[in-house]
Amino acid sequence: MSIIKVRDIKKVYNKDQVPVHALNGVDLDINEGEFTAIVGPSGSGKTTLLNVIGGLDEPTEGKVYIHDTDMFSLKERELIDFRLHHIGFVFQAYNLIPVLTAKENIAFILQMQGRPQKECNQRSMELLKMVGLEDKIDKRPSELSGGQQQRVAVARALSSKPDFVLADEPTANLDSASTANLLDMMLRLNEEENITFIFSTHDQRVVDRARRIVTLVDGRVDSDEERISNNEQVPNSRKN
Amino acid sequence: MKFWSILKLSWKNVWRNPTRSGVVILAVVLGTWAGIFSTGLMNGLSMQYITNQLETSVSHLQIHHPKYSEEYLPKYYLPNPDSLVKELTSYDFTQSVTARSVIQGLATSATNTFGVTVKGIDTETDSTVSNVHTYLAEGEYLSQSARNPVLIGDDLAKRLKLEVRSRLVINFQDVEGNITAGAFRVTGIFDTPNSAFDESTVFVNREDLNRLLGRKNTVHEIAIMVDNFKNADQYRDSLAHATNLEIRSWGDVSPSLRYTDSNVDFMLYIFMTIIAIALVFGIINTMLMAVLERTQELGMLMAIGVNRIRTFSMVMLETFFLTMVGVPVGMLLSWLTILWVGEVGIDLSAFAQGLEEYGMSTMIYPELPEGYFINIGLLMVVATLLAAIYPAIKALRLNPVQAIRKV
């Protein structure tokens, strides 16, 4: 079942009065439980597409539906609230709040949703356990390694039980071991919890583990391949 | 829960950079302390000036014959002064009352002459209204044993080259308008903080003066001290209904004192506002830095669903916390300083001559009513919150996509 429907998305930036076409009519459906990597060369529109799907950047043309909600028909306040409740974000630079502990960083989203403190604590503990950091609950980001910080970021993204998680180059700042650990963890969450992950990435290690690979070139979907398992391409995958 | 989380995060953000926050808090503490202490000092100076004038010469209320203050002639004395004094003493607001005969005369010594105001007083009651006796520098207060004793100021003593026991002749009009003169013996010399008063006023026994004026129990002026000098106008109005005599409050007698009193508040708040403005710029700078260095983090917060109101509130709360740590500490320090310096005083005797020419004491005792502390505290809080608006708006205007990518 499609949880995200991207329809004929175009995005034009005016950089120094010169129009830059970042997305040139992208159509994409993401189904529940998919583990999708959006790949492509620099400037192909990966991050822009992710920002549009995440409701952070309004497209110049086209529609994005999340569970049939036309995201950009929402008012600004509704859209922010929609992100809070329906979308999980993982950023390249982790972007944890430095003054909060790992547990507090995760609980923060739940607190913003107005959940009771007891539930916030319980859920934060659950998630830290899920990402294997139950012994780091009171550590601040500065006391964690890059890989650990990114795990906390994933736990934070999952805290509100979002419809899907958007991860923009999540492994870009990690070493090989941390990348492998993080991907193992995400794949496990995908398989066991049926969590939908969408990555934008340059990282071949991520591409190798992805179940679906959408390749963007010049703001268009160039290819969209599905794999039954890692490194195995679906025979009838579509080439755009 | 949502507000509590923002509140908690703001508080933690304040201590993210302890040095910077410490410097800002120190600036707020020092600004508040310096502002309140200086205000207390200026207020103390003004209040001392006013009370000095009231207690040495003006008093709180004065009652005269309706024509007396036009010409200051001895013939304009008060009718039935004893019953009037008795009636005035019975009012609840009255602290003390004294009757005086007051004339304008020419004081002559062996070497010089000078125009003076001669106050004929009853030493016992007058010392409850005027504190001149506390400024006795030489000799003694009006002695009842000596014949025609006179108390003069040190400035007049210098001008006329007089000492204790010197002879002084005063020429003036009697109640019939005839020129008369009296010879007096200097028994004491006073030195108040008001050199103009010291030069132009002499005190004699009312009985002696009345004898020379040619009428027993002559009273030109009834001086009254009330429970609170700030209410003098109100008491004047209530007394005015009961008599056709001229009743003047201290503000009517000395408009310059009234002006000083009414402007002291205004001047103090102007002064504090200037200090607050200086602080505002410091806080704008700090909060702008705090916002700009956290661009990425603020962008992330907006991206994950922290709305603009909460982002704005967070920056405002951070400033509020900085202020709320600094202002109470500054207020406490200034209160302690005013309390201490208000006891020991600040000795400005090096500038004694200049200060006395303006009727000011050489010892300054800062004082500040509690109301000022609250108002100044509120002024500081409002000023700093105003200072936070621009950085908070700056945070609001961040575009999450661009902010997250900012390094």
- Chain B hits for A167, CB-CB cut-off 8 Å, are none
Same domain, B206 and B345: no
- Tell me what the pLDDT averaged over chain A comes to: 89
Contact A112 B306 (CB under 8 A): yes
User: Is B249 domain-assigned?
Assistant: no
Residue A222, φ and ψ in degrees, nearest 5: -90, -40
Contact B305 A80 (CB under 8 A): yes
CB of A100 within 8 Å of any CB in chain B?
A: yes
Reported as type and span, the H/E element at residue B157 is: helix B154-160
Which residue does chain B place closest to A116, by CA atoms? B1
Contact A83 B1 (CB under 8 A): no
Same domain, B96 and B143: yes
CB of A235 within 8 Å of any CB in chain B?
A: no
CB of B3 within 8 Å of any CB in chain A?
A: no
Same domain, B398 and B342: yes
Predicted pLDDT of residue B266: 85
Q: How far apart are CA A76 and CA A80, in angstroms?
A: 6
Same domain, B135 and B239: yes
Mean pLDDT of A210-236: 79
Confidence of residue A230 (pLDDT cuts 50, 70, 90): low
CB of B259 within 8 Å of any CB in chain A?
A: no
CB of A111 within 8 Å of any CB in chain B?
A: yes
B1, B15, B307: residue with CB nearest A117: B1
% residues pLDDT > 90 (chain B): 54
Q: Is B195 left (phi over 0), alpha (psi -120 to 50) or beta?
A: alpha
**Cα Dmax for chain B:** 100
Mean pLDDT of B373-387: 86
Q: How far is B347 from chain A (nearest CA, A)?
A: 50
Predicted pLDDT of residue B356: 67
For B312-333, the DSSP string reads HHHHHHHHHHHHHHHHHHHHHH
Same domain, B166 and B314: no
Q: How far is B32 from chain A (nearest CA, A)?
A: 29
Structure confidence by residue, pLDDT tens digits, B175-229: 999 999 999 999 999 998 888 899 999 999 999 999 999 999 899 999 999 999 9
Contact B303 A114 (CB under 8 A): no
Predicted pLDDT of residue B323: 86
Contact A111 B307 (CB under 8 A): no
ipTM of model: 0.88
Confidence of residue B344 (pLDDT cuts 50, 70, 90): very high
B16, B301, B306: residue with CB nearest A99: B16
Contact B16 A98 (CB under 8 A): yes
Reported as type and span, the H/E element at residue B2 is: helix B2-14
A81, A97, A109: residue with CB nearest B297: A97
Same domain, B225 and B80: yes
Same domain, B118 and B177: yes
CB of A19 within 8 Å of any CB in chain B?
A: no
Predicted pLDDT of residue B146: 76
Last residue of a domain, one of B244, B276, B302: B244
Structure confidence by residue, pLDDT tens digits, A136-177: 999 999 999 999 999 999 999 999 889 999 999 898 888 888
User: Is B220 domain-assigned?
Assistant: yes
Same domain, B45 and B158: no
B192 token code pair: 């108040």
Structure confidence by residue, pLDDT tens digits, B265-298: 888 888 888 888 888 888 888 889 888 888 999 9
Structure confidence by residue, pLDDT tens digits, A101-112: 999 999 999 999
Predicted pLDDT of residue B347: 85
Q: How many distinct structural domains can be found in chain B?
A: 2
Domain residue extents for chain A: 2-239
Mean pLDDT of A56-82: 93
For A56-121, the DSSP string reads SS--SEEEEEETTEEGGGS-HHHHHHHHHHHEEEE-TT----TTS-HHHHHHHHHHHTT--HHHHH
Which residue does chain B place closest to A57, by CA atoms? B401
Last residue of a domain, one of B190, B213, B244: B244
Mean pLDDT of B116-130: 94
Same domain, B224 and B317: no
Structure confidence by residue, pLDDT tens digits, A21-55: 999 999 999 999 999 999 999 889 999 999 999 99
Print the domain residue range for B163. 66-244
Mean pLDDT of B400-406: 83
- Chains A and B form CB pairs within 8 A to the count of 66
Domain made up of A2-239: CATH architecture:
3-Layer(aba) Sandwich (3.40)
Contact A99 B302 (CB under 8 A): no
Predicted pLDDT of residue B85: 93
Q: How far is A69 from chain B (nearest CA, A)?
A: 17
A84, A109, A114: residue with CB nearest B1: A114
Same domain, B324 and B387: yes
Confidence of residue A238 (pLDDT cuts 50, 70, 90): very low
Last residue of a domain, one of B214, B244, B274: B244
- Chain B hits for A83, CB-CB cut-off 8 Å, are 303-305
- Chain B hits for A117, CB-CB cut-off 8 Å, are 1
Indicate whether A233 pLDDT > 60: no
